[in-house]
A and B are shown apart, each in its own frame.
Chain A
C-alpha cells in the first residue's frame, strides 16, 4: 500500500492564480480530511468527507473547495490564491470515526507571492 499520497510536494503561486492539490489513498478509507499547518499554529481542518459524494466544512474553509467523486480521491481547490493561503497542506484518511487513527500524506508546501 502506498497509503496517502499528495501531489505536488511544492508549489509557488502568484496572487489570484488557482490550483488543485491532489490527494489519493489506497486503503479504502471512508473518511478523508484536508488540514493546513502554519508555523507554530498546529493543524487546522479545512474540509472533510465521510464518503464519496459527501463533504463538509471544517474550521477554516474560506477560499477553498473540495469534491469527492470516488472513495480514493479528495482534491482541494484554491480558486483565487492569496498570501494568507501560504501554508503546508496535509491530506489524511481514516476508515471510520471515533476509534480509528488518521493516516497522513507527506504534505504540499504552498507559497503564494
Chain B
C-alpha cells in the first residue's frame, strides 16, 4: 500500500531564506506527483505536477524535483516571503493513477517570519 510521508511537520524560517520541503513515498510506480498549498481554513491549490518521466518542474520561485527510484520529491522555495506561509502537501495517485485517487502526505506547516 502506498504511503506518503512529509518531513518536517513544521518549519519556521526568516524572510528571504531558501528552503526545501521533503516528500517520501513507498511505491515508486507512480504516474505523477503533485505539490499543493493549503491556506488556513481554505481548500488546496495545486502548485506543481511532475509527471513520472520528468525530473523537475518550476513555477516562479518554486522548483519541485522527483526521484522515483529513491521514492523522494523535494519542493524548493527560493527567497521565501511571509506570503508563502501555509501548509504544503504532496500527493501521488494510488494504484498507478488509473482513477487519479490521490494519497496525501500529512503536510509541512511553513511559517516565514518577516
| Residues in A lying within 8 Å of B, measured CB to CB | 4, 31, 33, 35, 40-45, 48, 50, 56, 58, 90, 92, 94, 96-107
Contacts and interface: CB of A to CB of B under 8 A. Distances in A.
B43 interface: yes
Given A42-B106, A97-B93, A48 B101 contact: yes
A102 B100 CA distance: 8
A102 B106 contact: no
Interface of B: 4, 9, 31-32, 34, 36, 41-46, 49, 51, 89, 91, 93-94, 97-102, 104-107
Contact of B98 (A35, A98, A104, A107): A98
A106 B42 contact: yes
Contact of B44 (A31, A90, A97): A90
B105 A94 contact: no
B32 A90 contact: no
A97 B100 contact: yes
B43 A106 contact: yes
A101 B97 CA distance: 11
